[in-house]
Structure 1
Amino acid sequence: MRLLTYNIHKGIGGRDRRYDLGRVISVIANERPDLICLQEVADGIPRAGGVNQRDEFRRAFPGFEAIYQTNHCFRVGSYGNLVLSRWPIERAHDVCLRYLNRKKRGAQLVVVASPAGPVHVINWHLGLHESTRQWQASYLLEHHCYREAAHLPTIVVGDFNDWRNTLAAGPFSRHGLRQVTEPLHRFRSFPAYLAMSALDKIFCCPQVEVDRAHVVRSRLARDASDHLPLVLDFRLRHRVPRAEPSHHAVTQGAVPAEHLS
């Protein structure tokens, strides 16, 4: 099974600053993923063609189920996270990760019915401040929407903005999730045209067996966005019984009062 995670920068190239969503779609299609986790997917932003990009991705990947989460709104348009799955999505939650009055961030939690059994996938885009990221990771990993599926094979992916890599030894270690994207020098993904920082990461629980993880470094990928995509080839260590299908649910996680003082 193959998962791809990618901050697409709204389809705007990191080097030429040209909007061309077709380049992003080609980069993704060339990797032939089964699960696609995207960040900064635009909806109605003039600079990004003014289109609903989630619909563009649905057309580009027919047969994939799609779940979208709005994160940041502008005066005109917005952007957010998008999960596309070759297999049925049996459960889906949105969790708001806004910390204090800082920029709104979010996480998508989905349970996908893969051929080997259900897989719990988290797609997120974390904040720019160290204190914010520490709170966001801890809050999500202790959230009831995460805990209700934490017994399943779990994969956490996205743009972590964790350039110092402090989350691995903190919240993720406490919750038994290991970092797949290390050593860091092999997983530098930003800026795409001259990657120096490993901002995009993948964490897995012990039930997920990793065959290979790598950064896509093609010429097209270096031009299509300001981030490079990551690809994970994985298996489940043990077959897990299929989760009972349920309707998609959306849960907005409010910031606890003690964090607002």
Structure 2
Amino acid sequence: MKLRIATYNIHKGVTAFGMRARIHGIKEAIDLLDADLVFLQEVQGQHDQHAVKHMQWPAQSQHHFLAGETRHSAYGMNAVYEHGHHGNALLSRFEIASSANHDVSDHAYEQRGILHTVIRAPAADVHCFVIHLGLFAVSRRRQVQALIKEIHTSLPPDAPLIIAGDFNDWSNSLNHTLYAELGVVEVFDDGTRHAGIGSMPMRVAAMAGIGPGARPKIKTGRTFPAGLPWLRLDRMYVRGFKVEAAQVMSGAPWSKLSDHVPIVATLEYSPRQA
């Protein structure tokens, strides 16, 4: 079983301050990705002001609109305000067997959630977690611990797993915890940073981040800001799959649609790695 997956923060389908609607262009671009699973952040479930302000604003919630007639969708409402709400969403070509949203808000000023869906893929059920972590490092650490607890509590230890979204982790400080606790691999990790340790002095290997007790130094994709991606904010971690390819979709049309650009990866189901 091969899966093509993508993660994308769509900035609510509008430009900065909501001046222009981009949701139709985002739908066209997502369709061009030809992904089986699309992990979305900042999806507008409802926005009464945008609906009045912008011509041809979709009558449906954005996750339904983006799913169209060819995909199933699930939505987790996180941020609620007077004129609407937004959150995370998953688009899937396969049946969505179950969906649950977990509130991981760390303080009153940031409403965050983790959307957990189970996908009926051809070879196995796949557990998918859509992530959008907080802006503060202490919040992100607590939210990742909540994610780990949920996975350990509700998933079999060998269950195929995909965690994707906007981690806001520009320092790459969460990789070690996710690798150690969940046995996942980030899609841009080609394994070369963990090879050849036997021929290195332990001190040199530790400095390189590949020795026992060392923290893996994985160079994930640059996805923000969209016009000139520099910060490594968006990630995709997998378990039970071999990563065949991973790519940041920079340039046109992506540079004009959101403040992030998407990541796309091709996976091969590999239960021996689960």
TM-score, normalised to structure 1's length?
A: 0.83
Correspondence for 2:102: 95
Correspondence for 2:33: 31
Correspondence for 2:261: 228
- Whether the 8 Å contact between 1:69 and 1:106 is mirrored in structure 2 is yes
The alpha-carbon deviation at position 17 of structure 1 amounts to: 5.4
Aligned pairs for 1:108-119 within 5 A = 108-119=115-126
Aligned pairs for 1:58-73 within 5 A = 58-59=67-68, 62-73=69-80
Determine helix, strand or coil for the equivalent of 1:192.
Answer: coil
2:91 to 84, 97, 109: 84
2:148 equivalent to 1:141: yes
Structure 2 residue ranges without an equivalent (≥5)? 53-57, 190-216
Letter in 1 for 2:62: Q
Correspondence for 2:225: 191
The separation in 1 between residues aligned to 2:40 and 2:153, in whole angstroms, is 19
- Whether the 8 Å contact between 2:76 and 2:100 is mirrored in structure 1 is no
Correspondence for 1:244: none
The separation in 1 between residues aligned to 2:34 and 2:221, in whole angstroms, is 20
Correspondence for 2:164: 157
The separation in 2 between residues aligned to 1:195 and 1:15, in whole angstroms, is 21
Determine helix, strand or coil for the equivalent of 1:174.
Answer: helix
The alpha-carbon deviation at position 221 of structure 1 amounts to: 0.7
TM-score, normalised to structure 2's length?
A: 0.79
Task: Check 1:238–1:150 CA distance in 2 against 1; reply closer, same or farther (3 A cut).
Answer: closer
Task: Check 1:126–1:186 CA distance in 2 against 1; reply closer, same or farther (3 A cut).
Answer: closer
- Whether the 8 Å contact between 2:229 and 2:250 is mirrored in structure 1 is no
- Whether the 8 Å contact between 2:160 and 2:271 is mirrored in structure 1 is no
- Whether the 8 Å contact between 2:71 and 2:93 is mirrored in structure 1 is yes
- Whether the 8 Å contact between 1:16 and 1:223 is mirrored in structure 2 is no
Aligned length: 237
Aligned pairs for 1:110-129 within 5 A = 110-129=117-136
Task: Check 1:150–1:13 CA distance in 2 against 1; reply closer, same or farther (3 A cut).
Answer: farther
Letter in 2 for 1:90: A
The alpha-carbon deviation at position 149 of structure 1 amounts to: 4.6
2:246 equivalent to 1:213: yes
Deviates more, 1:136-145 or 1:65-74: 136-145
The separation in 2 between residues aligned to 1:150 and 1:8, in whole angstroms, is 32
- Whether the 8 Å contact between 2:243 and 2:265 is mirrored in structure 1 is yes
C-alpha RMSD of the superposition: 2.4
The separation in 1 between residues aligned to 2:157 and 2:130, in whole angstroms, is 15
Correspondence for 1:55: 64
- Whether the 8 Å contact between 1:10 and 1:48 is mirrored in structure 2 is no
1:44 to 43, 46, 69: 46
The alpha-carbon deviation at position 147 of structure 1 amounts to: 3.3
Letter in 1 for 2:66: F
Correspondence for 1:249: none
**Consecutive aligned runs of 4 or more in structure 1 exceeding 3 Å deviation:** 13-17, 46-51, 144-147, 181-186
- Which has the greater radius of gyration? 2
2:38 equivalent to 1:5: no
The separation in 1 between residues aligned to 2:17 and 2:108, in whole angstroms, is 31
The separation in 2 between residues aligned to 1:90 and 1:239, in whole angstroms, is 24
How many percent of aligned residue pairs carry the same amino acid? 29
Determine helix, strand or coil for the equivalent of 1:170.
Answer: helix
